[in-house]
Each structure stands twice: as C-alpha cells, then as structure tokens.
Amino acid sequence: MLKKTEAQQQEFELVSIESLVPSGHLLRKIDQAVEFGFIRDRVKHLYCEDNGRPALDPVVLFKLLLLGYLYGVRSERQLMREVEVNVAYRWFLGLRLRDQAPDASTLSQNRRRRFTESTIYQEIFDQIVELAVSKGLASGTVLYTDSTHLKANANKNKYDVAEV
C-alpha cells in the first residue's frame, strides 16, 4: 500500500548533538587523540588582553582550518555553509545545533591580519601531526603527493614589452 509521508520538520524532539555523531567518526577519533587546548597558549601573544571585542576562540578557528583541510573544502565561505548543516562539524567545533556558524570573514581576517607575520600555522600543524603520530593515527611512513598535470595557461605573445 502506498502511503504519503507526513512532514515532520516542525515537531520538537529532545536530542543531544552527541548522539547524532557516530562513535567511529573520524572527528571523534581526532578529538580523542588531540588535546587542542595547547593552541590558546601558542597564540596568546597575538591577542590583546584588555582591548577590542571578544575574539573567536582560537581553538575553534584552527579546528575550522583543519576541517577545511581534511574534507577538501577550499573556500572559507563554503566551509561555513558546511558547518551550518553538518552535525559532526558542529560537534567537533563545540557548537550547538542552534548556534550560528562563524562568519567566513573571521577566518580570512585572522589569516590576513593576526597570523600573517608569524609561523603559528606551521607550529600548530607540526604539533598536531606529532600528537597524531604519538597516538598511532599517523605513522609518517607514507607520503602522498598531488601530481595532477594541468595544461599551462600562458601565452608568450600575449604581452608586448614596450621599450622605454
């Protein structure tokens, strides 16, 4: 018998975000293996203690960058759209279902202004890799590279050099 499904989107349900993320999910494994709190100490010197509006937690900021890297989301705007709808991403970032995702400009402005003159990205990445290796999540014995061949988009005759 064919039955029409009734729309249930307006019903209230009591659910925890914890129960919506599968126990074997990659982000759960990363969260168990890596204590991200070290990030706050590493970037403290880049923040003003007594001036300005409250900043986005740097742990959330770097977790966002990690999500983009892990899942191949290259656009900051697209990453924020993914955070809006992906429960596992929200769980990993510590966001509730009703919390607004950070604005994409927060990522780009921190990258352009706060972290541009430092090696903090590399330092934090290195420490996360070291933690992953120590917990057995990575071995460092396999190297993956991207050797995609792309046709060059160059034309030697496109630009005329004017003599001065």
Output the average pLDDT for the chain: 83
Residues 24-50 have pLDDT tens digits of 999 999 898 889 999 988 888 877 777
DSSP string, 66-88: HHHHHTT---HHHHHHHHHH-HH
Read off the pTM. Answer: 0.74
Report the half-sphere exposure of 58 (CA within 13 A, side-chain side).
19
- Segments in the chain below pLDDT 70: 140, 142-164
Residue with tokens 């300005």: 52
Sequence ranges of the domains in the chain = 17-134
Question: Pick from 147, 155, 124, 140: which is nearest to 59 by CA?
Answer: 124
